[in-house]
Amino acid sequence: MQATRAKFHGPTQELLGVPVSLLDMDATVSAVEQMISEGGQHLIVTADASGFVIASTDPELAEIYQGADLATPDSQGVVWALHRKGAKGVARVSGVDLFDRICRLSAERGYRLFFLGAAPGVAEQAAERIRLRHPGCNIVGTRHGYFTADDDDLVAQEVSVARPDVLFVAMGIPRQEKFIVKTLGTIGAKVAMGVGGSLDVFSGKAKRAPQFIQRLKLEWMWRLLLNPSKFSKVKMLPRFVRLVFMEGK
């Protein structure tokens, strides 16, 4: 089923064809509240440098990014590119932080959340830990993300039974975004967002960098040291920089 999307409007800066949101974290959380209260269905993408690079050779992902209701600057690379284009005072709004804030919001407002993705057991473990972190957070369902595209509709029907307001999909770029666009109409959530490795982080399976490393803007290096398989992502950074320079100011 095709989702009927209600477009959210906020300040943006165009980057590689994508209108990237200039809202800071608090304003982004307010935008999410607005999306939930106004009804309709909304797609949030958290765009990092690797996402832009993948989109440059994947027209389906490029179209999804361009049509998203909110594309947040998920990485320091994207923040740098926005500054270069003249956008002032842009702050990083990472998927993992936004995920955490929406969980807090759920504890305050009762919004129904569904966690879909990561290896078997991880979403459940993340849910357990999030409930301790944000008592009252209303997680209405969890499911692992290891299934093929042939089963997308089946999984969507399974998720829809839980009637989530917000669907988080942690299956990596671009699989998670493509799954959301294909199934949002069936699932019926008001907001859906791809969150990459966030369930791994909140389950305790993966560790975020200490605050001081995040402040030094070196979280990517920390991830690489802990998990060398992430090297394929880091390798995309020079390509991202090249794309940004080719686009010009």
Binding site for ligand UDP (CB under 6 A): 117-119, 145-146, 170-173, 196-197, 199-200, 233
Nearer to ligand UDP, 90 or 199 (CB): 199
Q: What span, in angstroms and rounded, lies between the C-alpha atoms of 22 and 229?
A: 31
Q: Which amino acid is at 127?
A: A
Q: Are 183 and 155 in contact (CB under 8 A)?
A: yes
Q: What span, in angstroms and rounded, lies between the C-alpha atoms of 179 and 177?
A: 5
User: Shortest approach of ligand UDP to residue 233 CB, angstroms?
Assistant: 6
Nearer to ligand UDP, 85 or 239 (CB): 239
Q: What sign does the dihedral 127-128-132-136 (CA atoms) show? A: positive
User: Shortest approach of ligand UDP to residue 224 CB, angstroms?
Assistant: 12
Nearer to ligand UDP, 32 or 47 (CB): 47
User: Shortest approach of ligand UDP to residue 33 CB, angstroms?
Assistant: 24
For residue 2, which of 185, 156, 150 has the smallest C-alpha distance? 185
Nearer to ligand UDP, 91 or 119 (CB): 119
Fill in the DSSP letter of residue 5.
B
Nearer to ligand UDP, 36 or 142 (CB): 142
Q: What span, in angstroms and rounded, lies between the C-alpha atoms of 180 and 190?
A: 12
User: Shortest approach of ligand UDP to residue 249 CB, angstroms?
Assistant: 28
Burial (Cβ within 10 Å: 0-12, 13-18, ≥19) of residue 149: exposed
Nearer to ligand UDP, 36 or 130 (CB): 130
User: Shortest approach of ligand UDP to residue 241 CB, angstroms?
Assistant: 18
109-23-116 Cα angle (round to 5): 50
Strands 191-194 and 12-15: unpaired
User: Shortest approach of ligand UDP to residue 55 CB, angstroms?
Assistant: 12
Q: Are 192 and 43 in contact (CB under 8 A)?
A: yes
